[in-house]
Amino acid sequence: MGETTLQLQMRDMLKRPVFRKAEVLASERALERYVRWVHIMEVPDVGDLLNGGELVLTTGIGWQDNEQQGLSFLRQLIARGAAGLCIELGTHTKSQLGAMKEIAAADDFPLIWFHEQVRYIDITQDLHFALIRSHQRMLAELDNLTTSFNQLLLNGDGVQPLLRLLSRTTGYPVALYPLEGEASAVPYCPPELLENRRVAWLTQRSHSSQTDQMDQKNRSGQPMNALTLPIQALEYTFADLVLFLEKLPDHELELQHHKPSDEFVIQAVERCAAAIAQDWMRTKYMEEKRRYKEDMWVIDWLNGHHTAKEIQEYLISRGPLLASSKGTVVLFDSNPNYTDSLKLQKLLIQRNIVARSVFSREGFTLFSTVLNHQIILIILDPQPVPQRKSSLWRCIEQLQQHETDQTHRLFSCLLGIGHSCTDLSRLKDSLDAAKETLRIQKDTGPMQQPFYSNLHGYRIIAGMKQSGSLEDFIEEYLGPVIRHDAEKGGQLLRTLKQYFVLCCSKQETATALFIVRQTLYHRLDKIEALLGEDYVLPEKRVAIELAIYAYEYVHGPIA
């Protein structure tokens, strides 16, 4: 929450005893200006000496020799957003009253005249005391408002009562736009009108800071028509709270002693947003606790202990479309920082609040559990299309971005994504594929998008490694070339890989290797002598290419 500004309206200031003998020249609109501070100023050039909202006291001594300096001084105060000007009238100021009145009236700027000598020190002390008292009252009102928000939360009626209290307190219409679910508003608005309002404030919202929105103009030159605040929990924005800056009809308002200040309105919105975030967190946390109790069912599902009928009945109870969904398992490697399964489960409960929202925006449904200190996400997709790899990967990237500044990182480690299963009773196959993807990356290094379907030849190579036949396979198809390079310091293996990658194009291979074609021809002749003249024939070439990938699988990329 930002710093609370001390302020009173001009009409309240002028009721103070120190202004009893003053003459006030101000329109009704001018009297609504807020006074943030009181400042004595005798210099003719304002410059950057004011922040805005000051009631300026002066004798005009600084511009007694030049009438235009007085008018310039007034214009500068208006431009800097001063709240008003008090002048002790003297011979040098009386001659400027007419022109000053015209300038002030044009901008609804208050002028206060003192026809006899006054002690400005008494005025500043009195008004500063009044401002501090006003500040204390506003803090007390905000504390009471916060208490009321908290009491409404305890009633368990959701956020609608919070919106009603905020609207009644500020005198403005209020709307809540969640990223998921329907928007709500006080007073009630039809869904179509509510959506139109969302579009309107989105197009007008400027890059101004939150505290400037109440009194600044946006780039189009039109006054801001809405005050917006993102509602966040766990560093995740899940809704926007919008206060539309249009007064409610009188019958919608309770009687109030005075119009709430802009600062009070902004802080009231902030406190309402905090209360809504608490309600959201409580609701989501309870949901995750309930899901945690169902965790054993999910583990049995992954282990293949449920029949297709049992799975279908369970998913139908969660959502009619889920029974016909495809399932994909995402497996995150165990993190040495979280060897305590209970601690990991508690962290996952919190992090899943964000994860479910991220996946649901792409149309997925999420189940999650922890098994052997590894996080497992089950992603169900009801859409009748093949595995939506790009959408699924976009969700995982969002989870990782969300963890960038987090202390605990659950989704930013090595991971594997299994294949998509249409038969959900065989979800264990997707888990096994995710494990295989994870295991292969520990040999080859992290993949850019670690889907099982992206492993291609590595699936065959990993199987050879498990069976113990991988080294024999590499030796059979590449042994002579590998030994030649080791003995002669040659580049035959690198040349062979590049030659196959470029579909046996000699010109492109020579260019890629930065050698002349004659050198390439010499190397290819040597390769043919070592591997046999049939090395480019399709059936043998496939085996040699697989052996090249197998060599890199074991020894790393060929340099």
Q: Are 26 and 253 in contact (CB under 8 A)?
A: no
pLDDT in tens, 260-277: 767 778 888 888 888 878
147-174 confidence digits (pLDDT tens)? 877 777 777 677 778 888 888 888 788 8
Residues 8 and 198: their CA atoms lie apart, in Å, by 32
User: Model-level pTM greater than 0.75?
Assistant: no
Q: Kindly list the distances between the CA atom of residue 181 and the CA atoms of 105, 184, 239, 275, 361, in Å, as whole numbers in the listed order.
A: 49, 10, 10, 19, 11
Is the dihedral angle over the CA atoms 78, 138, 165, 184 positive or is it negative?
Answer: positive
In angstroms, the CA 57 to CA 45 distance is 14
Q: Helix-strand-coil percent breakdown of the chain, rounded to 5?
A: 55, 15, 30
> How far is it, in rounded angstroms, from Cα 14 to Cα 494?
89
Angstrom distance (rounded) from CA 141 to CA 257: 13
pLDDT at 437: 93
Q: Ranked by mean pLDDT, which of 33-37, 217-221, 280-284, 440-444 comes out on top?
A: 440-444
Strand ranges, E, within 349-490? 365-371, 374-381, 415-417
- pLDDT tens digits along 289-310: 666 666 778 888 888 888 889 9
Query: DSSP letter at 454?
Result: G
Q: With CA atoms as reference, report the closest residue to 473 among 489, 487, 462.
A: 462
Pairing of strands 23-25, 37-40: unpaired
Determine the Cα–Cα distance for residues 381 and 398; give it in Å rounded to an integer.
18
Residue 337: other Cβ atoms inside 10 A: 12
Residue type, 17: P
CB neighbours (10 Å) of residue 474? Answer: 22
Nearest to 11 by CA among 324, 24, 216: 24
Any bridge partners for residue 174, and if so which?
186, 243
Q: 80 by DSSP, 3-state: which?
A: coil
Q: Are 549 and 456 in contact (CB under 8 A)?
A: no
Range from 182-196, 263-277, 523-537 that averages highest in pLDDT = 523-537
- Cα separation of 535 and 146, whole Å? 79
Give me the pLDDT at residue 510, please. 94
Residue where the block lists tokens 């470029």: 502
Model confidence at 2: pLDDT above 60:
no
Task: For the chain, give the number of residues.
Answer: 559
Q: Which tens digits make up the pLDDT trace of 42-76? A: 777 777 777 777 888 787 776 666 667 777 878 88
What Rg do the C-alpha atoms of the chain give, in angstroms?
Answer: 37
Number of helices (H) and strands (E) in the chain: give both, helices first. 20, 15
Task: Dihedral sign for Cα 60, 61, 67, 71, please.
Answer: negative
High-pLDDT (> 70) share of the chain, %: 83
**pLDDT number for residue 220:** 29
CA 483, CA 403: separation in Å to the nearest integer? Answer: 47
| Contact of 177 with 198, CB cutoff 8 Å | yes
- Exposed/middle/buried for 289, CB within 10 Å: 0-12, 13-18, 19+? exposed
Q: Which two tokens stand for residue 468?
A: 């113990």
Q: Which of 5, 8, 263, 2 is nearest to 134 (CA)?
A: 8
